[in-house]
Every structure is written in structure tokens, then in C-alpha cells.
């Protein structure tokens, strides 16, 4: 069974630009979560989608958005990039039973550098 | 509020020595507990999980962890460390609640493990 796939692996963007990151979950997983990882703040939760609906959202500005498609693939978008958005963005997928997620499986991440 | 504390930022052990990484959590009900490992520039790999039942859980790569409710701890152990175990280790808590905790994991700040040959 294929794992969680994130594309692209690396991105370099300029301040003020926008970026879209993609995540394909494990087959059969309907929950997709996104995390931002930085040396200073550690792993921070961005949002979680289940069946195309955002179920939960972390404490990030509105420049960070996401969506989920009917095939459970998810994208996250960051608009008006700032230097502080440079980070490793991790996507995780989970199998859900009774509305509750089981363990999360993570992708390799997308390394975003804003210059 | 839910939180996870990993008291040790960096641990150094010799190859072949035993290892224990500490994790304490704060959560009002029975949590779902996880340990993940991350190599530089990579994603997180699940080592083991606790949902319910036996409080001593076995994971991959020879790791085990014990859930102690009275101490709100979930420490990771390995009897004999290999050089390839050098990485960063994260403890995480998932909740069975609804609302703002649904679908998310709370992570500790990680423990960096260095293994001396």
C-alpha cells in the first residue's frame, strides 16, 4: 500500500507570492491533517479535513487555507508569503472509524523556503 | 488544555546502551499516545501507539513504551541502541474528544538522540 505522498518536496518562493502544496493520503484514509514544523515553534497543527470538510483548525492567520477533494487528496495554500513561513510542511492521513481518527501516517514533507 | 512535555532536548548514549526517552502529557481523559521518529529532512515515522488495553506496547525497531496513567507518562525505551537510531523522537497525544481537539495531534518539542560508536 502506498504511503502518504506530498508534492513538491522542495519549493523556493519570494515574499508576497502564494504557494500550493499537495497531499495524497493512503488509500482508504478520509482524514488529512497538515502541520508546520520549524526549529523555533516545533510541530504546529494547521488544519484537518474529513470528507471534504474542515473539522478543525489551528491558530494560523487566514493566509493559510486548505481544501480536500472527493478522492481525499488535499491541498494547502499560503498567500502573501512571509519569511517566517519558511518551514517543513507535513501532511498526515488517518483512517477514521466512528468519527475518530486512528494513528496518523505522515508524508515526507514539503520544504518551503521564502526569500 | 492538552499538552505534551519531553523534558530532555538532547540525549547522548553509547551504541549498545539502553535508552529511555521521557514523555509527560496533560489531558483530562484517556489519551491516545504515540511515538514518532524523524530523520533529518524527512517526515515522521510511527514507532508505536497506545489506544487502550495493555499498558506496555511494542513497536517497530525494537522500541517499547509504557503508559502510566498515575504519572501521565508514556516513556519510550529500547534495551540496546544502534547507531542507526540516531534521530529526533516526538511524543504525541491524540484525543477522543470532539470540538477543538478533534482530528489533531499534540506534539512535544522532541528529543534529539545522538549515538556514540
Give the model's confidence band at A54: pLDDT under 50 very low, under 70 low, under 90 confident, else very high: very high
What is the structure's pLDDT at A14?
98
Query: Which of B31, B44, B50, B111 best tests the A interface by mutation, with the highest count of A CBs <10 A?
Result: B44
Which residues 6+ apart lie within 8 Å of B103 measured at CB?
Answer: A31, A33, A48, A50, A55, A56, A94, A101
Is pLDDT above 70 for A80? yes
**Could you tell me which residues are beta bridge partners of residue A13?**
A114
Model confidence at A65: pLDDT above 90: yes
CB contact under 8 A, A42 and B46: no
Please check the confidence at residue B5 and state whether its pLDDT lies above 90.
Answer: yes
Question: Which residues in A3-83 belong to E strands, given as ranges?
Answer: 5-7, 10-13, 19-24, 31-38, 42-50, 53-57, 64-68, 74-78
Residues B38-70 have pLDDT tens digits of 998 889 999 999 988 889 999 999 999 999 999
| C-alpha span between B28 and A27 (Å, rounded) | 33
Nearest to B92 by CA among A30, A106, A23, A89: A106
Q: What is the 8-class DSSP label of residue B30?
A: P
The nearest CA of chain B is from the CA of A39 a distance in Å of 9
CB B42 within 8 A of CB B50: no
Amino acid at each position: 500500500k502506498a504511503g502518504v505522498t506530498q508534492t513538491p518536496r522542495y519549493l523556493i518562493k519570494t515574499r508576497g507570492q502564494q504557494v500550493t502544496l499537495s497531499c495524497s493520503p493512503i488509500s482508504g484514509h478520509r482524514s488529512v491533517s497538515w502541520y508546520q514544523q520549524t526549529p523555533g515553534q516545533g510541530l504546529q497543527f494547521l488544519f484537518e479535513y474529513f470528507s471534504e470538510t474542515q473539522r478543525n483548525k489551528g491558530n494560523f492567520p487566514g493566509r493559510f487555507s486548505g481544501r480536500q477533494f472527493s478522492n481525499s487528496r488535499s491541498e494547502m495554500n499560503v498567500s502573501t508569503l512571509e519569511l517566517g513561513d519558511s518551514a517543513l510542511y507535513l501532511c498526515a492521513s488517518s483512517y477514521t472509524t466512528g468519527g475518530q481518527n486512528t494513528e496518523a501516517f505522515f508524508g515526507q514533507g514539503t520544504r518551503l523556503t521564502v526569500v | 488544555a492538552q499538552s505534551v512535555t519531553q523534558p530532555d532536548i538532547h540525549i547522548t548514549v553509547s551504541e549498545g546502551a539502553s535508552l529511555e526517552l521521557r514523555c509527560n502529557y496533560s489531558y483530562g481523559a484517556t489519551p491516545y499516545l504515540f511515538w514518532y521518529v524523524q530523520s533529518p529532512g524527512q517526515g515522521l515515522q510511527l514507532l508505536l501507539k497506545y489506544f487502550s488495553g495493555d499498558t506496555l506496547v511494542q513497536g517497530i525497531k525494537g522500541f517499547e513504551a509504557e503508559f502510566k496513567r498515575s504519572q501521565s507518562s508514556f516513556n519510550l525505551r529500547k534495551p540496546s541502541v544502534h547507531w542507526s537510531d540516531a534521530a529526533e523522537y516526538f511524543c504525541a497525544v491524540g484525543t477522543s474528544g470532539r470540538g477543538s481537539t478533534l482530528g489533531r495531534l499534540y506534539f512535544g518539542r522532541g528529543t534529539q538522540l545522538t549515538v556514540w560508536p
